Each structure stands twice: as structure tokens, then as C-alpha cells.
Structure 1
Amino acid sequence: MKFLILTLFLFFSFIQLVASTEQQYTSVFSFGDSLADTGNFLNSGAVFFPSISNLPYGMTYFKHATGRCSDGRLVVDFIAEALGLPLLPPYLGKEKDFHRGVNFAVSGATAMDRSFFREIGAELLLWTNMSLSMQIGWFEQLKPSLCSTTKDCNDYFNKSLFLVGEIGGNDYNYAFLSRKSIEQVKTYVPKVVETIIASTQRLIEHGAVNLVVPGNLPIGCNPLYLTVLRSPNPADYDAITGCLKPLNQFSMYHNALLITALEKLRLKNPHANIVYADYYNAALQLDLFPFKFGFIHGPLITCCGSGGGPYNVNVSAFCGAPGSRLLGDPSSYLNWDGIHLTEAGYLNIANGLLYGPYADPPIIHYN
């Protein structure tokens, strides 16, 4: 009996010790585009995507439109919830106390500034001028209200998590939708990656030490691309998923360059914890094994749309526009509006980042 009591004591002591080493974050700062935006684009006017201000956007969790490009919560929301923090308020919203975190992400945002898109002839497609550089500028303006001295800032940001993206996807979206070829757009990738790395370095210089930098999604599985950039060559389509292989190979090219650049950034900043978030494989698993994750409908079919056809996408009438409709319960679909995922899709990606294996180390981990 004494041996059993001692064994149990040691076991529970070990559990308590391990739990005590878990990284505790007291605030989260998020940057990026529509995969992370919790209301900034809507609060800025949402001129180029007005349907985001109405149901069925937000129908699943919030029961009203919040400015999120989904039926409910996003990856950043699930991360905040898992860390025991409130959902991040948008920087351009009514909330002004950002000590527990804030979201700077804007739907349609790019890594590159507007001048780049003017040079490549894609400026007229831009949803917003609020690039990653502008978002970090907002953070720099906010910083004095969060901490006053170098020591205060170091103590505060040591317990803060910085989510630098996803960003860069729209840089390519605008280029591809301007009818640039894959070969042309590939020449832009080093510049986009360089900008993401420079922005991450900028945050580190302001005191960020815990940073998550996501790669791009498999855009060849995007119903919008499958509709607009469909190929007459059957060999361009993956036999298992139905995704466009050349576009997915492009995403992998971006991610490979980003991973290499992040390795160099770690060497430059050995004190920082810089984690690559593998959005590509986290999302691709959902396309490969949809039933395993509860998606009973084809993963390439858009839940909310008005297009008919194989993907239910109509580029002139997206979700929320007259004539659009829901095909069913969003929780049984992976794709929401042809561009973005459902809450159920984002939940699965978030779990892969929070607990592994799509972030190394996972966001919630034991030291």
C-alpha cells in the first residue's frame, strides 16, 4: 500500500511538473489577410466584398456577421480560445484595450505594398491598401500604450504570441487573376518571402520572441481557382483530390523558400522562437481524407455559392449575393464561399498547429 501511495504521489507530481512547464501566453498579436481578419476589413468599409457584412457569414458561431470570411470562427479564434484568451478584437474596431491581444489582419491584404501591384498591372484588383507593412506600422503606433520601458516591453512580449500571417496568398491571387502565368508569378515569390521575413524581423526588433509564420494553403484545391483557372489537360488534376497540381506545386515552391528563409532568420535571432506553421499539409489532409474529419460532401464543393457546376462558384455572385444559397450544414463542408474555409475546416487546421504535427513545436507544448 505504501508503495502504491508513493507511486501515485510521484505520478501526480510528474503531471503537475509537466503542466507547470507549459508555455503560458497572456496576449496574442495577429497579422495577415482574410484567413485571420476578425473585422478590420468590414470596419474599413468592405467596398469590394460587401456581402461579408451580412448573414450567412457568421451564422454558425456568432449568429451574425462579424467581418470574418467564414460561417464562424477562424484559426486565430481557436488559438485564442485554446490559450484561455478572449477572441482578438480588430484593431479598427470599437475595442481600445488591447493588452490581451489585438488583430491587425485585413481581408485582401498583401505582403507587398500597392506600388508592387501597380508595376505588375494588378493594382485595380486590390481589395485594400492595408498591407503587412501597414499592419506592423499599426503595431508600432500601439506599442507605447502596451509597455513603457525596455524591461516592461521585454517582460510583456516574452509572454506574447505573434501570428505573422497567413500572408502572401493574396499577392499571388491578384497576379493569377490578372492572368499572369505560373512562370511569371514564380518570379515574384522571392520578393514576397523577403518581405514576410523583413516584417518578422521588424517585430523581433520590437521585442517579439514567440512567432508563428504560416506558409500558404494548397491553392490548387481552391474552388475559385478550379473554376477560373480550369485546365483542358486532365493530367493537370490530381487523381485523388481533383486539385490542380501546377498550382499546388506553386504553393509548395513558396513554402520551400519561406522555410529556408526562416532557417536563416533563426540563426540571426537565436533568442527568438520562430515556428513555421504548415498550413499546406494541414489543409491538404482535409482534401485527402474528408470523411475522416467529418466532411460528408466533396471537399472541393463550395457550401455557400450561386454557381452550380462542379464547385458551386460564380465569380460574379459570391456567397451572400442575390441568388446564392447554402447547400447544407456548413459543418459538413470544408469550403465555405469558394475562397475561404468553413469554421469546421479552420478548426482542424488550428488543432494541427496547437497540438501538432503541423507546427514544430506545437503552439501548446511542454518544454
Structure 2
Amino acid sequence: MNCKILFLVILFLTLGLALSIPQNYESIFNFGDSLSDTGNLLLSGALAFPVIGQLPYGKTFFQHATGRCSDGRLIIDFIAEAFSLPYVPPYLAVKQGQSAQHGVNFAFAGATALDAEFFFERNISILWTNNSLNVQLNWFRDLKSDLCSDKESCDDFFKKSLFMVGEIGGNDYNYAFFLGGGSKQLRSMVPLVVGAITDATSALIEEGAAELMVPGNFPIGCSAVYLTLFESPNKEDYDRHGCLKAFNAFAKYHNSQIKKALDMLRQKYPHVRIMYADYYGAAMRFVHTPLHHGFYGGTLKACCGGGGPYNFNNSARCGHAGSEACQDPSIYSNWDGIHLTEAAYRYIALALINGSSSQPPLLSRPL
């Protein structure tokens, strides 16, 4: 056997061993916004006739609307599948009697990292919800006594659980940007948003969490809503892929601060595994090479919308009168101008699981 063949055999056996190693997460607890809400906004009744409660939302996988802001499954759903767990039930379904044995999803569409008072004090009154990260954390605390009876049983339960802290923080910036705030002005918010996320992460560790994943923000400069609302006549405002450079630079700045804050948390809690999820890097891979990833419909134009250069029309958003969904969402990465398609979320979830977009990889969890 020559050296090349021997190398390939060893590589194959190594990969096979790595993929066959069992993972023992027994539950998932998720906090966040519409990127991972699996039904809380819909169940809350906060909106009388929410479009996410009807087709075409949910058309791809579930064949009916579930309250997810996509055509199908989200990142959190693919992670649950990877560990052979049921889809994580929304908190409000658990409150109505659904089992929390394998975790709870506290994410709420429209949620912010900062409390609602921060925005009201600054006359930012377009919030979808008051259910901020702090509120979600308190929901977890209220539910904790139903999950485990004492510190010992809680520690045992939570050390076998994955805690997803976000993505959250994107709405804090969205609300401010959409009301005319500039990148330089909004930079002053970043330490506050990052602080809220790291404080919640720290609080969960104090509650017994031992395995946590904290995502950064997506490249908002490639999002159809930003490309539509902030369309510029200046070509130099766009990168070679058609994304708005200033907004992507802002997202990268937020992410750099999150990573620094997580490094400090790792020093404070050396016994805990804190993973950073690089949503930005994962998404930019298919923005850079859409055809390679099967996105023949594009990555900047929404699958579902009411027309315009990016198929995003604020007067005819996806699900509203005047909008229409594409026939095949799997060839688009953008679903409704704000959220991604199931196909895009699947790619990002796999990148987290195999480690190409997570530091350290989700699959490297020690047994």
C-alpha cells in the first residue's frame, strides 16, 4: 500500500470515528428573536392576524404555518435533529402543557437584547414586543423548578443541555437604523447590547449551564430589507457582491466585541464550554459563491415579497396582499427580505455542527 492510499484510509477511518462518536445533549434551551422563534409570537396572540401564522410561511417542510419566520425549519431545528432531539417547543406551548423534558425555546420574534425601557426612553416606539432577553431569562428561572428539584438535580440536568443565547441584538440595531440612526451613532449601543448578551450568558452559567453557544449577527448589508431601505446611488457604497459595506462593517464590529466579551467569560468560567457561532461568516460564504451552494435564485433577492429590485416592498411584505412566494425556496437564501430560507438555515446549522463556523465546533463536545 503506497503512502497516498494509506493516508486516505487513515483519513477515512478518522472521519468515520469522529462522525460516529455519540453526543449526549439531552435537551436544548434557546433564547433569541425571530431567527429562532418556533411559535411564541404566534401563540402570544400579540398580533391579531400575523402573516407568520399562515402560508406561505412553513410551506417547505411543515406544509403549514408554525409561527416560524421562514418557509421551513430554522437553525435551532436542524441542531435538534443533529442530536436526535424533538424540535424545541416554544415556552408558551410548555406553559399550556407541552413537555419540557428535552428543552424549551424562549425566543420571541421582535425581541431585543436590551430591555424595552431603553428604547422608549429614546422615543424608539416601533418595538414588536417587550419580551427582551431579560424577560426570557426570567421565564427560564420561573420554569426551572418544574425542570429539576434542587441544585444537584439541576446541575445534572443542565450539564447535559445545550444553551443557545441568540442570535439576539439584531433587532436592537434594526429598530434604531430603520428610524434613521447612523452607523457611528449606533456604535455607542454596541457595548450595551454586548453587555446584555454576556450578562445573560453569565447568569445562565450561574444557573448551572455548562455548554453554551452564542451567535454573532448576520451580514445585514446583504439583507433585502436593508438593501431596499438604504439603496444608494453611489457604487462605492456596495461591495463586489452587491452588499452595503457600511452595514456589514457595523455587523462585523458587533461580532468582534461579542468575541472579546466571550473570551473574558471563558477566563471567568474555565470549567464551562462557551462556543461562538459565526453566523456572519457562514452566510457570507453563500453570498460570495451562491451557485456553488445551489442558490440559483440569488442571495440578495427575497423569495417571498411584493416586488422591487430585491423583491422587498414594505407595503406588500411576504404574506400580505400584493406579495407572492417563489416556486422553489430552496434556490434562494433570503426568504422574506428579513429572514432566511430553510435551505440557508440548513447550511448554517451544518457549519456550526461541523465546526467551520463555530469556535469551538459543536461536535467536539467532550463526553
Whether TM exceeds 0.5 here: the answer is yes
Q: In the alignment, what sits opposite 2:119? A: 117
Q: State the distance in 1 between where 2:350 and 2:72 align.
A: 16
Q: In the alignment, what sits opposite 1:43? A: 43
Change (3 A) 1:350 1:15: closer
Amino acid at match of 2:254: H
CA contact (8 A) 1:220 1:247 kept: yes
Q: In the alignment, what sits opposite 2:229? A: 228
Q: Secondary structure at the match of 1:125?
A: coil
Displacement of 1:48: 8.3
Q: How does 1:240-319 map to 2 (within 5 A)?
A: 241-306=241-306, 308-319=307-318
Q: State the distance in 1 between where 2:330 and 2:235 align.
A: 31
CA contact (8 A) 2:297 2:332 kept: yes
Q: In the alignment, what sits opposite 1:104? A: 106
CA contact (8 A) 1:216 1:255 kept: yes
Which runs of 4 or more aligned residues in structure 1 lie more than 4 Å from their structure 2 counterparts after TM superposition?
A: 10-22
Displacement of 1:361: 2.0
Q: Secondary structure at the match of 2:155?
A: helix
CA contact (8 A) 2:298 2:331 kept: no
Q: State the distance in 1 between where 2:120 and 2:12 align.
A: 61
Change (3 A) 1:72 1:86: same
After superposition, give the CA deviation of every residue in 1:184-231 in whole Å (9 maximum; x if it has no partner).
Answer: 111101100001000000000000010000000000001001001112
After superposition, give the CA deviation of every residue in 1:128-177 in whole Å (9 maximum; x if it has no partner).
Answer: 01000000101001111111121111111110000000000000000001
CA contact (8 A) 2:29 2:161 kept: yes
Q: Number of aligned pairs? A: 355
Displacement of 1:245: 0.3
Q: State the distance in 2 between where 1:238 and 1:227 align.
A: 16
CA RMSD in angstroms comes to 2.0
Change (3 A) 1:95 1:292: farther
Q: Secondary structure at the match of 2:291?
A: helix
After superposition, give the CA deviation of every residue in 1:257-314 in whole Å (9 maximum; x if it has no partner).
Answer: 11001000110111110000000000111111111111101211110001x2210111
Q: State the distance in 1 between where 2:16 and 2:291 align.
A: 37
Displacement of 1:250: 0.1
Q: State the distance in 1 between where 2:30 and 2:270 align.
A: 22
Q: State the distance in 1 between where 2:262 and 2:130 align.
A: 26
Q: State the distance in 1 between where 2:194 and 2:326 align.
A: 37
CA contact (8 A) 1:22 1:365 kept: no
Q: Secondary structure at the match of 1:66?
A: coil
Q: In the alignment, what sits opposite 1:154? A: 155
Q: State the distance in 2 between where 1:210 and 1:28 align.
A: 10
Displacement of 1:70: 0.1
Q: Unmatched 5+ residue regions in structure 2?
A: 1-9
CA contact (8 A) 1:220 1:246 kept: yes
CA contact (8 A) 2:300 2:334 kept: yes
Q: Secondary structure at the match of 1:188?
A: helix
Q: State the distance in 1 between where 2:222 and 2:178 align.
A: 16
Change (3 A) 1:49 1:340: farther
Q: In the alignment, what sits opposite 1:6? A: none
Change (3 A) 1:315 1:153: same
Displacement of 1:90: 0.4
Q: State the distance in 2 between where 1:69 and 1:151 align.
A: 37
Q: Secondary structure at the match of 1:70?
A: coil
Q: State the distance in 2 between where 1:235 and 1:350 align.
A: 33
Q: In the alignment, what sits opposite 1:72? A: 72
Q: In the alignment, what sits opposite 1:81? A: 81
Q: In the alignment, what sits opposite 2:339? A: 340
Q: Secondary structure at the match of 2:334?
A: coil
Amino acid at match of 1:272: V
Change (3 A) 1:231 1:140: same
After superposition, give the CA deviation of every residue in 1:307-353 in whole Å (9 maximum; x if it has no partner).
Answer: x2210111122101011112331011110000000000100000000
Determine whether 1:59 maps to 2:59: yes
